[in-house]
Structure 1
Amino acid sequence: MTDRAIIDWPAWTDSPPGRYVLEWEQTQLDRVVSDVFGYHALQLGLPQLDALRENRMPCRGLVLDAASGASAPYAFPRGGAGHAGGNGTRSGLNNGAAQGGLAGLPAPAGRSAVWCDLLDLPFEAQSVDLIVMPHTLEFTSDPHRLLREAERVLMPEGQLIILGFNSLSLWGARQSVGKMTGRPFVPAAVDLIAFTRLKDWIKLLGFDLERGRFGCYRPPLGSEQWLSRYGFMEAAGDRWWPIFGATYMIKAIKRVRGMRLVGPLKVKKPVLAAGLAPAATPNTRNHTQ
């Protein structure tokens, strides 16, 4: 593979290791998003992966950033009309998609394409039920700020799904060596984020980790033939060294502390301890003058 095929998402996803990773991630997402319900769902970046195809929410959006390499091969529309929320106001998902106004831009069926700055999402606070971030943190210049934006727009009990390359794996080791030699193996604008570090970040933002899964245990090889030869490592890795998979998926739920759902207020009568009786009410006949 050439340097461009390694560091550029569209070309890399057409390579044998790219197809291998996307196939695993697509399978995991199809299982997870199918039972997430609500009204609004967003996928941030990486249009090569249809993260929401098995989700049944009525409003599903693909959010792309012109400054992110993960938004290619979509062409950023000229003239400013393609910037969702460009007037500086916050909008709901429907308004944001309308402001995106990307008529003619190819997008998955049933999806709206929205162009904006991922670090300043043009959606109202607590307006989205599900956000999927496939490798998005690895392309943004400020992963912490992107996570804060996701937390802001998610509703209480909303769900966040993050996919990324695992730095604590053979792929992560090859990526570290490749960046030093100028030939990175996987596309990423920033250093790979360790699974343990990401868990700490989302917990600080008030998320509860519901599910975490690793995958892609074959060595970081560039040919289809050699990847096929190591197919036996999938089952072995799941059983013996799960935390060393090349990729991971995290599913977290936004918790709002101090909130709880309550029903109609019911007044309960006080219950007396066993063996106790209420004090007798004095009457006028027992009173002395």
Structure 2
Amino acid sequence: MDSAASEKSIIALDHWLQTPVGAYVRSWEQSCLDELTADIFGYNAVQIGLPQIDLLAASRMPNKWQAATRTSSASELELSVTGKQIAVALDFAELPFASSSLDLVVLPHVLEFAAEPHQVLREVERVLIPEGQLIIAGFNPASLWGARQLVGAALHSHYLPVAGEFISMPRMKDWLKLLNLGVSRSHFGCYAPAFRSTKWLGRFAFMERTGQKYWPYLGAVYVVHAIKRVKGMRIIGPAWTKTKAKAPATVPAANSTQKNHHR
């Protein structure tokens, strides 16, 4: 898939997210990301793609940016009125950020529509600081929606947007591992069958709880949370913790010296 085709696919996803099933996905992802990002601390965070969804809304970082494609419409980029800073990236495979400059990057459905998903991940790894964090949202091919998409491809009636490739969770973890991006947590959601109407999706809302309990890895959408690991680097605690640990050992030694002196 070339860059132009990739951007057209992302535009198709933008339109799909405005449908009832797209609203269902947006609601779950917003809830999941709000919970995750609220506990991630730092200074600089970037959401790459889908500017119409604010997945950094709950983040408490002082600097939050949005990176979009050059084909994003003016209405999609009018998010500055909400106070969010906008940065337009011409190509997700060449991010306009300095190396080791970002604490958090969020990739909602970017890799499965990207012309070069591996290069996008390499760029993300480059711009993240050591111990920086990455959150990826994607469609799960091992789900009811994934099966419906396969049937739809044969019948020329797609349920999800036509994409270059939906990436399974095990494969995604392998990609991340190669870049020393260790998976911290993973979440699955959207267990309702592949209906198109709000009415029928609502009738099967109970499957959200049932799916989490009985078939947790078969949700139609997943979120992966990873951390950039740097070999040979280790986070150490404050210096005073070491002083405290040594204190009990030095006191008896000092007392022993004093006793010998008096003798």
User: TM class by shorter-chain length?
Assistant: 0.7 to 0.9
Counterpart pick for 2:234 among 256, 260, 273: 260
Structure-2 residue corresponding to 1:83: none
**1:46 and 2:50 aligned:** yes
C-alpha change, 1:229 and 1:250, in structure 2 (3 Å) is same
Kept in 1: contact 2:137–2:224 (CA 8 A): yes
Per-residue deviation, residues 191-212 of structure 1 (Å, max 9, x unmatched) = 1111110011101110111100
Task: Report deviation, 1:8.
Answer: 2.1
- Structure 1 residue 34 and structure 2 residue 38: aligned? yes
Which residue in the other structure is 1:64 paired with? 68
Deviation at 1:14, TM superposition (A): 1.9
Is structure 2 residue 249 aligned with structure 1 residue 245?
A: no
**Matched residue, 2:157:** 183
The answer as to 2:204 corresponding to 1:230 is yes
Please state how far the C-alpha of 1:73 moved relative to its aligned partner.
Answer: 4.1
**Structure 1 residues not aligned, in runs of 5+:** 77-101, 272-289
Which SS does the other structure have where 2:45 is aligned? strand
Contact conserved, 2:14 with 2:50, CA < 8 A, in 1? Answer: no
The separation in 2 between residues aligned to 1:255 and 1:10, in whole angstroms, is 33
SS in 2 for 1:113: strand
Q: Contact 1:13–1:48 at 8 Å: present in 2 too?
A: no
Identity of aligned residues (%): 46
User: Larger % of helix: which?
Assistant: 2
Equivalent residue for 1:163, pick from 118, 137, 147: 137
Q: CA RMSD in A?
A: 2.3
8 Å contact from structure 1 (residues 125, 153) kept in 2: yes
The Cα offsets for residues 29-86 of structure 1, whole Å up to 9 and x where unpaired, read as 110001111111000001121110111111100001125xxxx44479xxxxxxxxxx
2:22 paired with 1:18: yes
TM norm structure 2: 0.81
Q: Does the CA contact (< 8 Å) of 1:63 and 1:114 recur in 2?
A: yes
**CA distance 1:193–1:115, shift in 2 (3 Å):** same
Q: Matches of 2:14 and 2:163 in 1, distance apart?
A: 14
Q: 1:255 to 1:29 in 2, by over 3 A?
A: same
Gaps of 5+ in 2: 1-7, 250-263
**Cα–Cα, structure 1 residues 35 and 20, in superposed 2: closer, same or farther, change >3 Å?**
same
Quick check: which has more Rg, 1 or 2? 1
Q: Deviations over 1:200-246 (max 9, x none)?
A: 11011101111001000000111111111111211110000011100
Look up the SS of the partner of 2:80 in the other structure. Answer: coil
Query: Quick check: 1:138–1:188 contact (8 Å CA) kept in 2?
Result: no
Equivalent position of 1:8 in the other structure: 12
Quote the Cα distance in structure 1 between the aligned partners of 2:163 and 2:68.
16
**CA 1:17–1:128 in 2, change beyond 3 Å: closer, same or farther?**
same
Work out whether 1:131 is the aligned partner of 2:105: yes
Residue 79 (structure 2) pairs with residue 106 (structure 1): yes
> Which residue type is aligned with residue 43 of structure 2?
Y
Looking at structure 2, the residues matched to 164 and 31 of structure 1 have their Cα atoms a distance apart, in angstroms, of: 17
Question: In the TM superposition, what is the alpha-carbon distance from 1:22 to its structure 2 partner?
Answer: 0.5
Aligned residues: 232
